[in-house]
Amino acid sequence: MLPMPSRTELRRRVPRLLFGLVLYGLGVAMLVEADLGLAPWEVLHQGISFNTGIPIGTVGIITGLVVLLLWIPLGERIGLGTILNVLLIGIVIDLTLWQWPIGETSTWLQWSLLIGGTLVVALGSGFYIGAGLGPGPRDGLMTGLAKRGIPLGWARAGIELTVLFIGYLLGGTVGVGTLVFAFGIGPLVALTLPRLTVEPALEDARERSELGEAH
């Protein structure tokens, strides 16, 4: 388990974490409704959902818990953000899709949902990653493999191509939206993350420094 920040830091970081996770879940729901293609993990979740009848967000929660089990041999440490990531995003996805008005979606609305959903996911990522309270389960899996000597880029590509292929075989939606997300999300997160990262408060940084000197 990652060290718990001070109360002051938690008051600063937790609201941003929660806001970011809600935004992320909302963005994914928008991409599902666009029906033009999903990100690799969501293709897998949707494919499993189609074959089991379990809502896609709930599938994401179950998958996240399974991925966390893979952290054990990799030696990754869970943070508060990791746990909330697993639970909250899936709940928001299911609630959003449950409340979404039923009806035909025009082409312009599909593209609006695709572009808007990608932007919302990027903004949500900036908030929840920038809160610094622990990585998401899938990110931790990639970094854990990287620590075992596999280049991070290769680890990420290998995992995402694998889940994309399995999800496609299960009936998940792969399309132009998958490409838009794949090529767009990296630069967008790179744009939002530096602006949304929470720097340690002065007193918290001093406290950590003193603890380090004591050891």
Identify the band that residue 103 occupies on the pLDDT scale cut at 50, 70 and 90. Answer: low
| 205 inside domain | yes
| 165 inside domain | yes
CB 118 within 8 A of CB 186: no
Q: Which domain holds residue 89?
A: 7-209
pLDDT of 75 higher than 90 = no
| 197 inside domain | yes
| 215 inside domain | no
| 189 inside domain | yes
pLDDT of 156 higher than 70 = yes
Beta-carbon contacts of residue 15 (< 8 Å; ≥ 6 apart): none
Percent of the chain as helix, strand, coil, to the nearest 5: 80, 0, 20
Phi, psi at residue 23, to the nearest 5°? -60, -45
Q: pTM for the full model?
A: 0.89
| 1 inside domain | no
Q: Indicate the number of domains in the chain.
A: 1
According to the model, what pLDDT value does residue 213 have? 42
| 80 inside domain | yes
pLDDT of 212 higher than 60 = no
pLDDT of 105 higher than 90 = no
Cβ neighbours, 10 Å, residue 207: 15
pLDDT of 38 higher than 50 = yes
| 27 inside domain | yes
CB 122 within 8 A of CB 186: no
Find the mean pLDDT for residues 67-93: 93
